[in-house]
Amino acid sequence: MHHCNTFAGLKKTLDHMSKIYSLIIIALLGSLTTFGQTCIEPVAQPEDLNLNASPTIINGDFSPTFPASDAYLIVRSATPALSASPVDGVTYTVGQALGGGIVRGYVTAAAFSDAGLTPNTLYYYFIFSVNSESCTDGPNYFNTNPLIAAANTQPLAACVTPTAAPATGSFIFNNTNSSISGSFTPVAGANRYLVVFGSSNAVGPAPVNGQTYTAGTAWGANQVLSFGSSNTFIATGLNPGTTYYVQVYSANAECTGEPFYRTTPVVAGTSTSVNATGIPVGYYDGATSLSCQPLKTALKTITGNGYVNIGYDGVYQAYQYTDIHRNDANTANIIYDIYSDNPTGPEPYTYTFGTNACGNYNSEGDCYNREHSTPKSWFNDALPMYADIQHLYPTDGYVNGKRSNFPYGEVTSVTYTSQNGSKLGTGNNFGYTATVFEPINAYKGDLARTSLYMATRYEDEIISQNWAGNSEASPLFLSTTDQPNAASRRLQIYDTWYLKTIFKWIGQDPVSQKEIDRNNAIYYQSGQHNRNPFVDHPEYAALIWQCTGLLPVTITDFTATKFNESVILKWYATLETGFRRYDIERSTDGVSFNKIGDVPGQNLANYTFTDYNLPMASVVYYRLKMVDVDEQFQYSKVAVIRLNNNFSNAITYPNPTTGDLHVKLLQNLTSKSTLIVTDMSGRKVLQQIVATGQLNIPVDVRNLPAGRYFIRIFNEVQVINQSFVIIR
Q: Smallest Cα–Cα separation from 41: which of 53, 52, 33, 49?
A: 33
**CATH code of residue 131:** 2.60.40.10
pLDDT category at 648 given cuts 50, 70, 90 is: low
pLDDT of residue 406: 95
pLDDT of residue 22: 42
Angstrom distance (rounded) from CA 635 to CA 629: 15
pLDDT of residue 492: 96
DSSP 8-state symbol, 288: T
624-644 pLDDT, tens digit per residue, is 998 887 787 778 888 888 876
Q: What percent of the chain has pLDDT over 90?
A: 56
pLDDT of residue 129: 95
Pick the more confident residue, 381 or 632: 381
Angstrom distance (rounded) from CA 281 to CA 275: 10
Residues 561 and 442 in one domain: no
pLDDT of residue 643: 76
The total number of structural domains in the chain stands at 5
Least confident of 299-303, 401-405, 686-690, 714-718: 714-718
Pick the more confident residue, 79 or 539: 79
**CATH code of residue 720:** 2.60.40.3080
Residues 363 and 483 in one domain: yes
pLDDT category at 266 given cuts 50, 70, 90 is: very high
pLDDT of residue 136: 67
Residues 717 and 632 in one domain: no
**CA geometry: angle at 719 spanning 718 and 723, to 5°?**
145
pLDDT category at 575 given cuts 50, 70, 90 is: low
Classify residue 540: in a domain, yes or no.
no
Q: Report the chain's mean pLDDT, rounded to a whole number.
A: 87
Least confident of 241-245, 272-276, 561-565: 272-276
Residue 47 pLDDT > 60, yes or no?
A: yes
Cβ neighbours of 259 (radius 10 Å): 25
The answer, as to whether pTM is greater than 0.75, is: no
Residue 118 pLDDT > 90, yes or no?
A: yes
Cβ neighbours of 243 (radius 10 Å): 11
Residues 615 and 683 in one domain: no
At residue 438, the 3 state secondary structure works out as strand
pLDDT of residue 333: 87
Pick the more confident residue, 70 or 688: 688
pLDDT category at 36 given cuts 50, 70, 90 is: very low
Residue 303 pLDDT > 90, yes or no?
A: yes
Residue 26 pLDDT > 90, yes or no?
A: no
**Which of 85, 120, 155 lies at the terminal end of a domain, its last residue?**
155
Pick the more confident residue, 174 or 223: 223
Residue type present at position 684: K
Q: Smallest Cα–Cα separation from 104: which of 49, 140, 96, 86?
A: 96
**Which of 482, 507, 523 lies at the terminal end of a domain, its last residue?**
523
Backbone φ/ψ region at 167: left (φ over 0), alpha (ψ -120 to 50), beta: beta
pLDDT of residue 90: 87
Residue 28 pLDDT > 50, yes or no?
A: no
| Mean pLDDT for the stretch of residues 35-62 | 88
The full DSSP string for 270-283 is EE----SS-PPTTT
501-530 pLDDT, tens digit per residue, is 998 898 788 888 899 999 999 998 899 999
The residues pairing with 625 across neighbouring beta strands, listed in sequence order, are 583, 635
Burial category of 379 from C-beta neighbours within 10 Å (exposed 0-12, middle 13-18, buried 19 and up): buried
693-719 pLDDT, tens digit per residue, is 888 899 999 888 888 888 988 876 676
Residue 74 pLDDT > 60, yes or no?
A: yes
Residue 551 pLDDT > 80, yes or no?
A: no
Pick the more confident residue, 66 or 126: 126
Angstrom distance (rounded) from CA 270 to CA 59: 36
Residues 407 and 312 in one domain: yes
Residues 117 and 147 in one domain: yes
**Structural domain range at position 575:** 555-642
At residue 436, the 3 state secondary structure works out as strand
Residues 613 and 700 in one domain: no
The full DSSP string for 139-193 is -EE--SS-EEEEEEPPPPEEP--------GGG-EEEE-SS-EEEE----TT--EE
Angstrom distance (rounded) from CA 726 to CA 292: 37
How many helices (H) does the chain have, and how many strands (E)? 11, 42
Classify residue 160: in a domain, yes or no.
no
Residue 7 pLDDT > 80, yes or no?
A: no
Classify residue 12: in a domain, yes or no.
no
384-410 pLDDT, tens digit per residue, is 999 999 999 999 999 999 999 999 999
Classify residue 253: in a domain, yes or no.
yes
Angstrom distance (rounded) from CA 107 to CA 359: 7
122-157 pLDDT, tens digit per residue, is 999 999 999 987 666 778 999 999 999 999 999 999
pLDDT of residue 584: 96
**Which of 271, 306, 330 lies at the terminal end of a domain, its last residue?**
271
Residues 210 and 306 in one domain: no
Classify residue 547: in a domain, yes or no.
no
442-463 pLDDT, tens digit per residue, is 999 999 999 999 999 999 999 9
Residues 398 and 457 in one domain: yes
Residue 14 pLDDT > 60, yes or no?
A: no
| Mean pLDDT for the stretch of residues 467-486 | 93
Residues 338 and 471 in one domain: yes
pLDDT of residue 250: 98
Kindly list the strands in the beta sheet with 660-665, ordered across the sheet, starting from the edge strand earlier in the chain: 650-653, 660-665, 696-700
Q: Which residues contact 425 (CB under 8 A, 6 or more apart)?
A: 411, 412, 413, 414, 415, 416, 435, 436, 438
Classify residue 354: in a domain, yes or no.
yes
Classify residue 182: in a domain, yes or no.
yes
Residue 304 pLDDT > 60, yes or no?
A: yes
Residues 314 and 226 in one domain: no
Classify residue 549: in a domain, yes or no.
no
Residues 363 and 506 in one domain: yes
| Mean pLDDT for the stretch of residues 255-260 | 94
